[in-house]
Structure 1
Amino acid sequence: MINLSKESIDALKNGKNLLAFSHGVDSSALFYLLNDAGVEFDIAIVDYNVRAQSKDEVKSAKALAKNFKKKIFTLSVKLEGGNFEAKAREIRYEFFKKIFLEHGYKNLILAHQLDDRLEWFMMQLSRGAGLLQMLGMNEHESREWCEIYRPLIGISKAEILAYLKEGKLAYFVDESNVDEKFKRNFIRAKFTTEFLANFKEGVARSFKILEAERTKFVPKISKISQDLYSVKYDENALNGIDRVAKTLGVVMSEAQRLECKRCLKGGCVISGRIAVGLYKDESVLIAPFVKTKMDKDFKEKCRILGIPAQIRGYLFSAGINLAELRF
């Protein structure tokens, strides 16, 4: 018997919900568990067209949605070049955001479970990340356009598989998930699966404690206008930039974090989409990157006020009154 997080379920019963669906083990189980818990939701699925099986997954997802009288949103894309996982994540979240803005959803439900959380922790540890990055996969987090919930975050993969098999519930297996050339799969095969088989309760309890304690390291973030943020310039500033970037739709890689840290005083642009600049050695300003022509008077006022060059295009295009800005 799987018991979903009560905190997540209570929250989801008071909002319009969309489940990020792949028809893999985790999202298939979560579909049925949410339904049994009385949570209303619709689903969204992305076909990346890299596996022949993906067509069957989408077809089955449509049949499942029809059977349970749920709306289904589908997207078919073909990604080119390297860094497939990062590109797929970006496309996926842009798709979800579009759905949310057009249809008024409030909560995005993700099927990450305990194995995913431990694998993320180990991957970040292998990269030399800090505590906030290692604990980046939390049960609940807020973004500019949605609230994210992960009701399975304390449940192991083994428990989820047992639930599906006991109920004779259909799901698909992505064969790329066993290819150990990918770091996450290597960590899963060599460590997390066997470790959780022996220490699942302790790991779940440790993550609960760490999630409560992480608030000590949370950066000070202020929202100044629609998409303009300020982060206090201290030892937690980079974590604040990371969180705001995620809110604005960009998940920073470790290389981007290091580049941002190196170039912070002079300012930088992340993924060609997010502008970051230091304001008077007091705060870091973050906004969407906008390249536009500005009149000389506006640029001079920005210079006098000490507003970073990377931020000015956004302020100008958004028609923000510089005299009313309070950082």
Structure 2
Amino acid sequence: MELYFLDVLKKAKNLLAFSGGVDSVAMFFSLQKAGIEFDIAIVNYGTRDTCDEESDYAQSLCQTYNKKCFIFKAPAIRSNFESQARRIRYDFFEDVIAKNGYDNLILAHHLNDKLEWFLMQLTKGSGLNTILGFQAIEQREGYQIIRPFINTTKMEIYKYCSNYKFYEDSTNTDNGYKRNKFRHFYANDLIEKYAKGITKSFEYLEEEKKLLYEDSEVFYLGKIAYFQKSFLHQNLYQIDKIMKKMGYVLSASQRGEISKRNFSCEIAGRYIIDNNKNYIFVSKIYTHDLILPKKFKDIARKNAIPKRIRMEIYSHMQSENIPFNDMNYYLEGKFIQSSRHCQ
């Protein structure tokens, strides 16, 4: 089984997102045979009869191959299962990564997954950056996501795992899930017949995306990211990249809402997006036991600091002992200079 980015993985501390399914089992043994050091993390959602058995299987593999196994028992999910499960999963992975100093999170996404996403976003009326959402390597806040199977087909994975134990998720055959419909009615047949051409098309599209979108410089004031305004799609591209680093993937409807609200809104009750004449700001929402002084409000208002991020800026200045009555701090040019210093 061919793996991509072995040179990156060999130099780093790696965590494999494991499920007990065919994809993650194939990834486990492929990495093992390639001599890559890694540990595994698994979420037990408790939604199937075999969930506990899958967690036990993960533990037994780690005992056999001398690896650490991190297991999280998820709370019951009452609604929006896919989105809630994803949030729970990534919160758990990021907690493990932060506490144990992992550099990379390895995901077993493959070519079929990439095409499914592409087709689903295509039918929603999404732009190029959205429909190419599955990147081989993605930079997140404090770690990288790496997908070594990005050009491997599901059929190749099944063939590789013919002699290994794995579990089939019964929900994968339920066409009540939109992703399954695209998988069973479109993506699988297309990959089976045209895998090489599809792989090459994705490569061309990725190169063309680089020509269309620029990676503008992103500045930081504490944990607030901001960048200079550009045209609509470039702004959305930058916001998407920043939020992915923060651990959140925007939906097509959320991108539409950001545009509709003229880059001044909250996302999922967890993130702030706001702007002034020159910059767009992106920040997580933090809980503060602070009251904004009138003098700070006056300074912020005079210097067009967006209302939604004033508390985050004030909190940062307090923690860094930066005097907010220094008017030059907020003036054009000084704001960037100070932010660079605070990275």
Instruction: Give the TM-score normalised by structure 2.
Output: 0.89
Structure 1 residue aligned with 2:265: 268
SS at match of 1:318: helix
Contact 2:77 2:85 in 1 (8 A): no
Contact 2:46 2:74 in 1 (8 A): yes
Q: Which of 185, 189, 194 is matched with 1:194 structurally?
A: 189
User: Which amino acid in the other structure matches residue 219 of structure 2?
Assistant: K
- 1:219 Cα deviation (Å)? 4.9
Contact 1:290 1:317 in 2 (8 A): no
Question: Mean Cα displacement is larger for which, 286-295 or 301-310?
Answer: 286-295
Structure 1: runs of 5+ lacking an equivalent = none
Partner Cα distance (2:287, 2:14) in 1: 35
| 1:85-126 Cα shifts (integer Å, max 9, x gaps) | 111111111111111111111011000000000001011111
Structure 2: runs of 5+ lacking an equivalent = none
Superposition RMSD in Å: 1.5
User: Which amino acid in the other structure matches residue 107 of structure 2?
Assistant: L
Partner Cα distance (1:34, 1:291) in 2: 41
1:98 and 2:95 are equivalent in the alignment: yes
SS at match of 2:121: helix
Structure 2 residue aligned with 1:170: 165
Question: Mean Cα displacement is larger for which, 304-313 or 111-120?
Answer: 304-313
Contact 2:116 2:183 in 1 (8 A): yes
Counterparts of residues 10-89 of structure 1 (less than 5 Å): 10-89=7-86
1:225 and 2:221 are equivalent in the alignment: yes
- 1:129 Cα deviation (Å)? 0.8
Contact 2:23 2:157 in 1 (8 A): yes
User: Which amino acid in the other structure matches residue 314 of structure 2?
Assistant: F
| 1:264-285 Cα shifts (integer Å, max 9, x gaps) | 25x21111111111121x2211
Partner Cα distance (2:280, 2:140) in 1: 19
Structure 1 residue aligned with 2:200: 205
Partner Cα distance (1:118, 1:146) in 2: 25
Partner Cα distance (2:123, 2:209) in 1: 20
Structure 1 residue aligned with 2:335: 325
- The structure having more radius of gyration, on CA atoms, is 2
- 1:318 Cα deviation (Å)? 1.9
- 1:218 Cα deviation (Å)? 4.0
- 1:250 Cα deviation (Å)? 2.1
User: Which amino acid in the other structure matches residue 62 of structure 1?
Assistant: Q
Partner Cα distance (2:77, 2:123) in 1: 27
Partner Cα distance (2:182, 2:217) in 1: 34
Question: Mean Cα displacement is larger for which, 103-112 or 199-208?
Answer: 199-208
Structure 1 residue aligned with 2:105: 108
User: Which amino acid in the other structure matches residue 268 of structure 2?
Assistant: S
Structure 2 residue aligned with 1:250: 248
SS at match of 1:22: coil
Contact 1:29 1:160 in 2 (8 A): yes
Number of residues of Structure 1 aligned to a counterpart in Structure 2: 320
| 1:64-101 Cα shifts (integer Å, max 9, x gaps) | 11100000111011243321111111111111111111
Structure 1 residue aligned with 2:115: 118
State the 4+ residue runs in structure 1 displaced beyond 4 angstroms. Answer: none
1:302 and 2:300 are equivalent in the alignment: yes
Structure 2 residue aligned with 1:238: 236
Change (3 A) 1:223 1:88: farther
| 1:199-220 Cα shifts (integer Å, max 9, x gaps) | 1111111112222222122452
Sequence identity percentage: 36
